[in-house]
C-alpha cells in the first residue's frame, strides 16, 4: 500500500492573518471553508504536491480550541493520503498505533479520514485520508 503526504495541518488563531504569511512567501490560498461539525474554519494553501491546511477554531471549547489554549499556534497534524482507509486502519492497528476514531469520519471534499493518537506516533498527530472515487 502506497501512502503520500497530502497536507500539514497548522492551528492558528485567525485564518486571515496566517494566510498573509503564506501569500507573502509566494503561495496561493486556494479556498476557505467552515467545517461546523469539527468546530473550525479552514483554508488550504497550495504548496506543490501537498498543501498546508490552516485551522482556526470556531470557539474555545472544541479540540482545536483546547490545543491552541495549551500549546499555542503551530503544527497540529500531518496527513497522508491512503488508497484504502480500512486497510490503512488495519495496518496501523497491527503496527501498534492507537486510532482515535473507531471508524472513518467525513472530511472536507468528500474524503474519509481517521486520526492516529500522537501518544502512539512519537508525539505527532497523524491523519489518514482516503479521497473519494
| Binding residues vs Co ion (CB under 5 A) | 9, 53, 79, 127
- Comparing CB distances to Co ion, the nearer of 19 and 127 is 127
Q: Would you report the helix, strand and coil content of the chain in percent, each value rounded to 5?
A: 30, 40, 30
Cβ of residue 30: shortest distance to Co ion, in angstroms? 14
Report how far residue 1's alpha carbon sits from residue 83's, in angstroms, rounded to the nearest whole number.
7
- Comparing CB distances to Co ion, the nearer of 53 and 56 is 53
Cβ of residue 92: shortest distance to Co ion, in angstroms? 16
Cβ of residue 9: shortest distance to Co ion, in angstroms? 4
Report how far residue 69's alpha carbon sits from residue 63's, in angstroms, rounded to the nearest whole number.
10
Length reported for the chain: 133
Amino acid at each position: 500500500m502506497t501512502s503520500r503526504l497530502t497536507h500539514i495541518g497548522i492551528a492558528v488563531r485567525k485564518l486571515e492573518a496566517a494566510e498573509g504569511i503564506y501569500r507573502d512567501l509566494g503561495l496561493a490560498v486556494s479556498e476557505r471553508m467552515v467545517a461546523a461539525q469539527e468546530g473550525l474554519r479552514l483554508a488550504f494553501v497550495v504548496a506543490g504536491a501537498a498543501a498546508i491546511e490552516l485551522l482556526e477554531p470556531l470557539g474555545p471549547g472544541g479540540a482545536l480550541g483546547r490545543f491552541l489554549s495549551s500549546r499555542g499556534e503551530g503544527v497540529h497534524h500531518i496527513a497522508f493520503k491512503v488508497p484504502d482507509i480500512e486497510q490503512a486502519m488495519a495496518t496501523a492497528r497491527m503496527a501498534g498505533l492507537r486510532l482515535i476514531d473507531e471508524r472513518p469520519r467525513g472530511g472536507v471534499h468528500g474524503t474519509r479520514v481517521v486520526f492516529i493518537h500522537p501518544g502512539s506516533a512519537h508525539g505527532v498527530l497523524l491523519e489518514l485520508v482516503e479521497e473519494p472515487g
